[in-house]
Amino acid sequence: MRTPDRRQDANPQTPDAPADPVAPPTGGGFPAVGGARMAGWSGLIFAVLFTVGLFLVRQAPGLAAPDADYVAFYHDGGQSALVTLGLYIVPFAGIACIWHMIATRTLIQVLRPRSWSEIPHWLHLASGVVFVCMLFAGSAAVGAVALLTRFSAAPLPPPDVARALSAAGYAMVFVYGVRPPECT
């Protein structure tokens, strides 16, 4: 790991230059306060949208539900509207996740100016993008049959197809997307 160069310039260009070029300024107008606030709010918005979106998508019958439950759920149409609503909320959760990721990274860059070139910065960005992709793909797989019933006159697929799509979607979101990297 690189250690920052902490030499003081003998002739600073401005009289208000800090003695330590790596240390953050200690004034009341420090811009990291706004960045920290934005990172915090974006994290809260993401958490709420993520929870609500996945709760609504999860209204589809479980994997162990009998075929009659699948047929009744998708023929009734009332609860599949909740799954469809959840599918509309999930993209906003993904956008909020990326917003939180960028706000947090910007805050770190303000506090550690030369941190953008380090590998963890790029791993942070890549892991966030992979998580959002898994979230989008998994939710779409779980809600595919609900969208078919809402926006198409095509006949319903057999319950085994709906169960397989749900299983694939849950695996993408909860096994691959939410699983912490240290478990691999």
Mean pLDDT by 10 residues, the chain (184 residues): 52 51 49 73 92 89 86 77 89 92 81 71 83 92 86 83 90 79 46
Cα 111 to Cα 23: distance, rounded to the nearest angstrom: 8
Q: Does residue 164 contact residue 181 with C-beta atoms inside 8 Å?
A: no
> Sign (positive/negative) of CA torsion 109, 113, 116, 121?
negative
- Looking at residue 128, its pLDDT comes to 87
Q: Hey, how many other C-beta atoms are within 10 angstroms of the C-beta on 123?
A: 11
Residue 29: per-residue pLDDT: 47
Residues in the chain: 184
Contacts by residues 18-26 (CB-CB < 8 Å, ≥ 24 positions apart): 22/112, 22/113, 24/110, 24/111
CB 84 within 8 A of CB 147: yes
